[in-house]
Structure 1
Amino acid sequence: MDYLSRESAPFSADLWKKIDDTVVDTASRVLVGRRFLNIFGPLGVGMQSINLDSTDIGKSVQEETAGGISRIGRRKYEEIPLLYNDFTLLWRDIENSEKFDYPLDLSPVIAAAETCARKEDKLIFLGDESFGYEGIFNAVGINKMEKSDWKSGENPFSDVASAVKILTEQGIYGKYVLVVSPDLYLQMQRIQPGTGVLEVDRISKLLDGNIFTSPVLGTDKGALLCSEPNYMDIAIGQDMATAYLELKDLNHVLRVLETALLRIKNKKSIVVFE
């Protein structure tokens, strides 16, 4: 069964390839979370839920046995949500492209893929309160520390160094990543007095270049985390793909979709600046 309903679309294989390539290229350009988080999957669109095990000492899963019956204790399961965005291709544009061999304007595809990618990053960083999904910045039990004024002195570097210390003191080692909102990223683009070195370059050297920014964070948000897969990852059921929905007013309605879930396995691996 073609759950993407592509057989319903009067599209050539070449047009589908152009749509697919556009979605992949756009998602690769926009997505931020996937640049530093490990991908678990793809597991298939039929995978509706997945285990969310803790690797924190004292909270890890363990097998429980009694009376000849065994089960895995302390294991949680979380539903993998579907993220999507719809777009329309006008039939006259397609006919014009095919008849005169003009390139088809795929701006609607780009816009839909960008929106879907932003939704994934928003789910990763901020979660979704209405459905009870936790994100990196608002999960219960993460480390929090007061943020200094990043517009003066060496405060950004000092705060990041202090956050690294918090992680190492708790035995969290590995790839350290700084994720900040665009305004904080710009505040690091200044020369540290007396050094001739940009503040962002000092921090980048400390973190092996692992500094990322995303517009979905809004303003004045920053977090340091350890992105090793034993601490967190992204479970992917269906990776981003395009489905055909319907013919409406002779125009073609399609949907960019994916199923994805952030799994935080050890909340001690995150330090949020407040």
Structure 2
Amino acid sequence: MNHLLRELAPIPADGWQQIDDEARERLTTHLAARKMIDVAGPHGWAHSATSLGRTRRIDVPEAAREREALVRQRRVLPLVEVCVPFTVERAELDDAERGADDLELDDLDRAAAQVGLLENRAVFHGWPDAGIGGIIDASPYQHRTLGTDPQRYPHVVANAVDTLRCNGIGGPYALAINPDGHTAIVESTEHGGLLVLDHLRRALGGGRVKRTPGITGAVVLSLSGGDFTLELGQDLAVGYRHHDAGTLTLYLEESFSFRVREPDAAIVLD
């Protein structure tokens, strides 16, 4: 038995399989940041910190100062644990045993959306209480104005890409944009009938335009790798908390840290 306590839940194997499949499908929709950055791990639940490859000098204890000594402490970034509960009706699991493959798991969708929001915001906006700095604060460039007219987006994005290239940041590139902005892109066409989305993909050097819940505005960033790293301890998994006669309380859980390795690899669009 591990920390997820799944063995204690009154859920048959087929029920767990459906829950896991549904969780995977719904999380894929919301975990946008992972598709644009490096993901290291998972290293397991016991993995507690990311090595920063640096040290800080500390004083030698007074009792040991007879001879000259240099003492350094390794610097690490502790992982943050995220746990979001959700409920499942026992009647749905009974139906799974009867062969139903269309379980109603609306609360799982809510939990998946919340997890995605937390992770995406940590990557792009940082999480000061967790010691995590985000891509937006790290970017050294002056913010560009994206505006509200999708017809202008390809021009703004092309200029941002040109700036990255001039600073030695290779492509292809991605545009991470908030859901409203993404909807405007998908619904827009230019005078020639071409989708704005097609123009943006060309401006990004064949990269991607990614709907990113949790981000404010948008960011153009390199997809070449090595610039941004999300390190996983426990990858997202479903665990068991408790149950009563009619409802089971489960949860989605993960642990992670995030590091910006190359601040020059992203430009913020307000």
Residue number in structure 1 paired with 2:234: 238
Distance 2:237 2:35 in 1: 19
Distance 1:24 1:272 in 2: 30
The Cα shift of 1:92 comes to 4.5
Distance 1:255 1:217 in 2: 24
Alignment-mate amino acid for residue 206 of structure 1: A
Unaligned 5+ runs, structure 2 = 58-67
CA–CA distance in 2 between the matches of 1:187 and 1:97? Answer: 39
8 Å CA contact 2:30, 2:213 repeated in 1? no
2:212 is matched with which residue?
Answer: 214
State the secondary structure of the residue aligned to 1:235. strand
Q: Is the 8 A contact 1:90 1:252 kept in 2?
A: yes
Alpha-carbon shift at residue 236 of structure 1 (Å): 1.2
Query: Comparing 206-215 with 128-137, which one deviates more in the overlay?
Result: 128-137
Pairwise CA distance, 1:28:
1.6
Alignment of 1:26-65 (within 5 A): 26-52=26-52
Q: Please give the per-residue CA displacement for 1:184-239, whole angstroms capped at 9, x wherever unaligned.
A: 3344453444x543333222112104111223225xx1111113332112111111
Contact 2:44 2:233 in 1 (8 A): yes
2:182 maps to 1:190: no
Give the structure 2 partner of residue 181 of structure 1.
178
Q: CA deviation at 1:141?
A: 4.7
TM-score by length of 1: 0.79
**Deviation digits for residues 118-162 of structure 1, max 9, x if unmatched?**
32222222222443422222x24532333154527x632222122
Is the helix fraction higher in 1 or 2? 2
Distance 1:50 1:96, change over 3 A: same
Report which stretch shifted further, 3-12 or 181-190: 181-190
Compute the TM-score of the two structures, normalised by the length of structure 2.
Answer: 0.80
Change (3 A) 1:192 1:132: same
1:169 alignment partner in structure 2: 166
Which residue does the alignment assign to 2:21? 21
State the Cα deviation string for residues 238-274 of structure 1 (Å, max 9, x = none): 1110111123466322111111222210111111023
CA contact under 8 A between 2:87 and 2:250: conserved in structure 1? yes
| Distance 1:40-1:249 versus aligned 2 partners, 3 A rule | same
Q: Say if 1:141 and 1:267, in contact at 8 Å, map to a contact too.
A: yes
Q: Identity percentage over the alignment? A: 24
The CA distance in 2 between the partners of 1:148 and 1:101, in whole Å, is: 50
Query: C-alpha displacement at 1:108, in angstroms?
Result: 3.1
Residue of structure 2 equivalent to 1:88: 87
Contact 2:89–2:248 (CA under 8 A) maintained in structure 1: yes
Inter-partner Cα distance in structure 1 for 2:132 and 2:76 = 12
1:159 partner amino acid: V
- Give the conservation status (yes or no) of the 8 Å contact 2:15–2:96: no
Paired residues of 1:245 and 1:253 also in contact (CA < 8 A): yes
Distance 2:159 2:269 in 1: 11
Pair 1:151-2:153 in alignment = no
Aligned match of 2:105: 106
Q: 2:10 is paired with a residue of what secondary structure? A: coil
1:142 equivalent in structure 2: 140
Contact 2:42–2:235 under 8 Å retained in 1: yes
Secondary structure of 2:142's counterpart equals strand
Task: Name the CA shift for 1:90/1:174 in 2 (closer, same or farther; >3 Å).
Answer: same
Does structure 1 retain, via aligned residues, the 8 Å contact 2:90–2:246?
A: yes
Check 1:196–1:12 CA distance in 2 against 1; reply closer, same or farther (3 A cut).
closer
SS in 1 for 2:169: coil
What pairs with 1:238-257 in structure 2 (closer than 5 Å)? Answer: 238-248=234-244, 251-257=247-253
1:200 corresponds to: 197
Tell me if structure 1 keeps the 8 A contact 2:174–2:222: yes
Q: Is residue 223–residue 273 contact of structure 1 (8 Å, CA) maintained in 2? A: yes
